[in-house]
A and B are shown apart, each in its own frame.
Chain A
Amino acid sequence: MTTQKVIRVDVRGEICPYPMLRAVEAMTKAQGEEGIEVLTDHPPALLTIPNEAVKRGWDVSIQRLGPSEWKIALTKSRVAEGGQR
């Protein structure tokens, strides 16, 4: 099992649009094989973060942790990165 360094971004309690901005910051800073886990309780972020992630070549999966709490796991997509911004 490959151990992957995971960057945790906890944006619970943050107001719009900071959950998405923080996630994008983390994606921009991530290097190599790092994965990102975003913890959020902000419903709009469940659409905006995956949207921005896929644009940047990341795969997304969302797991519900509890009443109005979600973990958005981002991993760099294995698909060819040619031409992706």
Chain B
Amino acid sequence: MGSATGTVPRQALGLARRGLLAGLAITGAIVVFFLFSGHPKWQLLWAFGLLFGYILQRGRFCFASAFRDLFLMGESRVMRGVLAGMAVATPLFTVAMVLLHPTPLPGRYPPEVNVLPLGPHTFLAGVLFALGMTLAGGCISGTLYRIGEGYTASLVALLGVFIGFVLLAFTWGFWWQTSVAYAPLVWFPQPLGYTGGMLLTLGLLGLALLGLLWWEHRHRTPRGGVWAVPSEGEGGQGTPPTLGGQVRTLLGAVFLRPWPVVVAGAALGFLNGVLLLLHRPWGVTGPLYGWMEAVWGRLGVFLVPLPPLMGLDQFGGACNPALAAPRVFGLAHNDMVVLGVVAGSFTAAAIAGEFKVRVPRQRRRYLQSLVGGVLMGYGAALALGCTLGAFFSAIPSLALNGWLFAFGLLGGSFLGARILRKLG
């Protein structure tokens, strides 16, 4: 129990390493920001990516956990954070849509938000995606933020995502013909009006919360009183009454200790709303798909040309690879969000001393991550968005497709949780 004599130098080394990594991360973030001077959209999306990544890491916010834990443990903690995020985003998204399209014409949908074709493929995509995210131990945003924390298995998962994209590209024709081509777009403000659409969405989110409470009751998950757990690290004494002490405690809560998941979710939802007001909703599938296309194009001499996803120029949303985007240093502006998430998460982890190159002991975790990633890539491309584009940003867009995708996610997570236990 007594401290070994080697601990003080070890602690000093640990702090030095932490300071070095944190300094690197912060400096890098600022340098990249100024590298893109004169390109405000790139700077904006880099900044938002950093914030998203930072909050994801601080809040351990992962959609995979939100869905999977419902079935694995009867726990709704992370899902509450997700609901909080969407509840905060919904009024902001509504305001943005009102500003952009005050009187939408019948049959016309705002292309800036994620109103996506609604069909059986939407549900199936959710099932596949959730199966994949459960196996891979994280959704796509979760994978990105874990790359920033140092998880090597997440790199493999991301590789799987690209493979999944390729598989979908070669099979898109089938889905287009059987489902997507006939799929309607269902956007609540047509015919409910903006207020009606927003209230319906908030009402459904409230129902979902009630559903979570019922679910936990059904699983006899105790609440309250379980939080008398000593917090890790700094002692856990009460906050000193001095101003300095209060400030230190607040700084510690933001930078050193984990965030409550509802706070993280609400912050992400808020930022998503602000991002839409300034640009577009948060999404990563589109840019990642674009990277896959770019790489494939480079290798094009050796490989069959990648079929384009037909019909997509009609839709808005996260996945619109038909857009030929201008590039700065080879990067389209949307790419900056993806990079920012990884960098922001790295920054958060570095400051909190949570960055570590993590290598799974069992080789089969790599295979598991790869397969999970392939399923995620396929599902995300099929739905034209992942848990961000087709869910977290789609429900506040007042679009029904978000809800159908969510049901698919529930189904896939249920199956995935079973498989996880069997795999061991």
What is the interface of chain A, defined by CB distance below 8 A to chain B? 12-17, 20-21, 41-44, 46-48, 50-52, 54-55, 60-64, 66-70, 85
A30 to chain B, nearest CB (A): 18
**A63–B232 contact, CB under 8 A?**
yes
**B226–A43 contact, CB under 8 A?**
no
Segment among B31-39, B180-188, B300-308, B357-365 that sits at the interface with chain A: B357-365
What are 19 of the A-B contact pairs (CB < 8 Å)?
Answer: A12-B358, A13-B360, A14-B361, A15-B137, A15-B365, A15-B368, A16-B64, A17-B420, A43-B149, A44-B60, A44-B62, A47-B77, A48-B75, A50-B229, A51-B77, A64-B233, A66-B10, A68-B349, A69-B356
**A15–B232 contact, CB under 8 A?**
no
**A17–B360 contact, CB under 8 A?**
no
B320 at the A/B interface (Cβ < 8 Å)?
Answer: no
**B358–A13 contact, CB under 8 A?**
yes
**A60–B229 contact, CB under 8 A?**
yes
Q: When A66-B14, A67-B18 are in contact, do A43 and B354 touch as well, CB less than 8 Å?
A: yes
- Closest A-chain residue to B78, C-beta based? A44
- Closest B-chain residue to A22, C-beta based? B424
B159 at the A/B interface (Cβ < 8 Å)?
Answer: no
Q: When A17-B137, A43-B258 are in contact, do A60 and B18 touch as well, CB less than 8 Å?
A: no
**A55–B226 contact, CB under 8 A?**
yes
**Most interface-central of A14, A43, A64 (chain B CB within 10 A):** A43
Interfacial chain B residues near A85, Cβ < 8 Å: 220
B335 at the A/B interface (Cβ < 8 Å)?
Answer: no
Distance of A70 Cα from B358 Cα, bound (Å) = 14
- Closest B-chain residue to A52, C-beta based? B73
Q: When A46-B258, A61-B230 are in contact, do A15 and B18 touch as well, CB less than 8 Å?
A: no
Our pick among A48, A55, A64 for the contact of B221 (Cβ within 8 Å) is: A55
Q: When A15-B360, A17-B69 are in contact, do A43 and B17 touch as well, CB less than 8 Å?
A: no
Size of the B side of the interface (Cβ < 8 Å), in residues, is 45
Interfacial chain B residues near A67, Cβ < 8 Å: 14, 17-18, 353-356
**B353–A15 contact, CB under 8 A?**
no
Q: When A14-B361, A17-B137 are in contact, do A68 and B230 touch as well, CB less than 8 Å?
A: no
Our pick among A41, A44, A51 for the contact of B65 (Cβ within 8 Å) is: A44
Our pick among A21, A46, A54 for the contact of B226 (Cβ within 8 Å) is: A54
B267 at the A/B interface (Cβ < 8 Å)?
Answer: no
Interface string of B338-370 (1 = CB under 8 A from A): 000000000001000111101111000100110
Beyond contacts A43-B149, A47-B60, A85-B220: 13 other A-B pairs, Cβ-Cβ < 8 A, are: A15-B368, A16-B65, A17-B65, A17-B420, A41-B358, A43-B258, A46-B232, A48-B75, A60-B230, A62-B229, A62-B232, A66-B14, A68-B349
A14 to chain B, nearest CB (A): 7
A22 to chain B, nearest CB (A): 9
**A14–B360 contact, CB under 8 A?**
yes
**A55–B222 contact, CB under 8 A?**
yes
B291 at the A/B interface (Cβ < 8 Å)?
Answer: no
B228 to chain A, nearest CB (A): 8
- Closest B-chain residue to A44, C-beta based? B60
Interfacial chain A residues near B95, Cβ < 8 Å: none
- Closest A-chain residue to B421, C-beta based? A21
**B230–A13 contact, CB under 8 A?**
no
B280 at the A/B interface (Cβ < 8 Å)?
Answer: no
- Closest A-chain residue to B60, C-beta based? A44
Distance of A14 Cα from B252 Cα, bound (Å) = 27
Interfacial chain B residues near A21, Cβ < 8 Å: 72, 420-421
B320 to chain A, nearest CB (A): 31
Distance of A12 Cα from B65 Cα, bound (Å) = 19
**B137–A47 contact, CB under 8 A?**
no
Interfacial chain A residues near B18, Cβ < 8 Å: 67
A26 to chain B, nearest CB (A): 14
Distance of A52 Cα from B190 Cα, bound (Å) = 45
Q: When A69-B356, A85-B220 are in contact, do A54 and B361 touch as well, CB less than 8 Å?
A: no
B153 at the A/B interface (Cβ < 8 Å)?
Answer: yes
